[in-house]
């Protein structure tokens, strides 16, 4: 998932470059519509943010479900060391995904500030 998010954040990582190539220089003013190009960039950014948030929240929901199931199994079989290890592994994965929501917020805020 981390690699997928990294690839999906490319538009945010390149926002300054995108803006620099979107706003025409004096010699290209008549050839490019900066308003339309900025609108397209805005829409691309919105789509990227929405898709990433949806993916992260779906992963959190799935992993939360797994953690809940493992906790229930753990209550029945408290001596099962393998089950405890699996539960801890899934809990760690859940925490990492939840922290990705915070990262997403920072990335989104930075991009919107640059775009503004």
The full set of domain ranges for the chain reads: 36-115
| DSSP at 23 | S
Round to whole Å and give the CA distance between 5 and 13.
Answer: 12
pLDDT in tens, 61-101: 999 999 999 999 999 988 899 999 999 999 999 999 999 99
Q: Which pTM was predicted?
A: 0.77
Can you read off the two tokens belonging to residue 35? 């308003």
Of residues 1 and 40, which shows the higher confidence score? 40
| DSSP at 92 | H
Round to whole Å and give the CA distance between 10 and 6.
Answer: 7
């Amino acid at each position: 998932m981390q690699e997928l998010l990294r690839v999906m954040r490319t538009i945010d990582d390149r926002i300054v470059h995108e803006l620099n190539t979107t706003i025409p220089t004096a010699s290209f003013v008549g050839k490019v519509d900066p308003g339309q190009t900025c609108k397209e960039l805005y829409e691309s950014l919105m789509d990227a943010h929405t898709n990433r948030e949806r993916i992260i929240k779906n992963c959190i929901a799935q992993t939360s479900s797994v953690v809940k199931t493992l906790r229930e199994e753990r209550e029945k079989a408290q001596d099962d060391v393998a089950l405890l290890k699996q539960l801890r592994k899934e809990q760690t994965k859940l925490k990492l995904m939840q922290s990705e929501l915070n990262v997403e917020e920072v990335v989104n805020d930075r991009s919107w500030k640059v775009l503004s």
